[in-house]
Amino acid sequence: MTYEVYRDWILEKNLPLGSGPIVDLVAGSAAGGTAVLCTYPLDLARTKLAYQVSDTRQSLRGGANGFYRQPTYSGIKEVLAMAYKEGGPRGLYRGIGPTLIGILPYAGLKFYIYEELKRHVPEEHQNSVRMHLPCGALAGLFGQTITYPLDVVRRQMQVENLQPMTSEGNNKRYKNTFDGLNTIVRTQGWKQLFAGLSINYIKIVPSVAIGFTVYESMKSWMRIPPRERSKPA
């Protein structure tokens, strides 16, 4: 929704971006940033719940050793409440810096690549599902590959409070996004920036492909007139 709104606004204001793929790049980036700002606390809660660790505590009862596990969080509400208690509103947006730095180029490239690929498709195949699926898949593939290292830093910053304390008595390992990138490369090697990328392809590539395909199909089903085709780059 916001992509279409930003795109129309850019064209109406006659900004010096032309009417080609640069408009899709800027509108896509702005749309991705808007979506992150609106939904980030839920993404933070999802990551913390997925990465939480359980404490194993030892108790003595009648000379016997017993162990029990206590989850760090019991649900989304507790995650959000604890994050707010620890850092106020800023606590709910811990790690949003690398998220925005990652989502702006990712969302922009995703829309840019998809729209650019569509421009080279013959007019008679513009509404074909067999065209939307590969265009969306390639858009997700390239966008995710280029921005994945920032996603790695984002996840590590989100779960810092679940990590062991450092020698300085805190568990914040990275000052900012670029410090996180440098630290990971220095201590774990550059390959760590792409750890899990192949698994992410299994999720992202079909997700983006299906998302674009359903979006285009719904526009066609609702009889929304197609936009005027802009000149290819």
Which tens digits make up the pLDDT trace of 17-52?
Answer: 766 778 889 999 999 999 999 999 998 888 888 877
Instruction: Indicate the average pLDDT of the chain.
Output: 80
Pairwise CA distance, residues 44 & 79, whole Å: 9
Q: Which of 119, 110, 124 is nearest to 209 (CA)?
A: 110
d(CA 109, CA 5): 18
Higher local confidence (pLDDT), 170 or 129: 129
If you average pLDDT over residues 148-152, what whole number do you get? 85
Report the distance separating Cα 86 and Cα 4, nearest Å: 37
Burial of 19 (0-12, 13-18, 19+ CB in 10 A): middle
Over residues 153-162, the pLDDT tens digits come to 877 776 665 5
pTM of the model: 0.71
pLDDT at 32: 94
Q: Enter the tokens of residue 81.
A: 């409440």
Listed residue (203, 100, 191) closest to 150, CA to CA: 100
To which residue do tokens 């939904």 refer?
39
The residues that bridge with 55 in the sheet, in sequence order, are 70
d(CA 158, CA 45): 9
How many other C-beta atoms can be found within 10 angstroms of the C-beta atom of residue 179? 12
Domains of the chain are 1-94 (no CATH), 96-165+173-226 (1.50.40.10)
**pLDDT at site 172:** 61
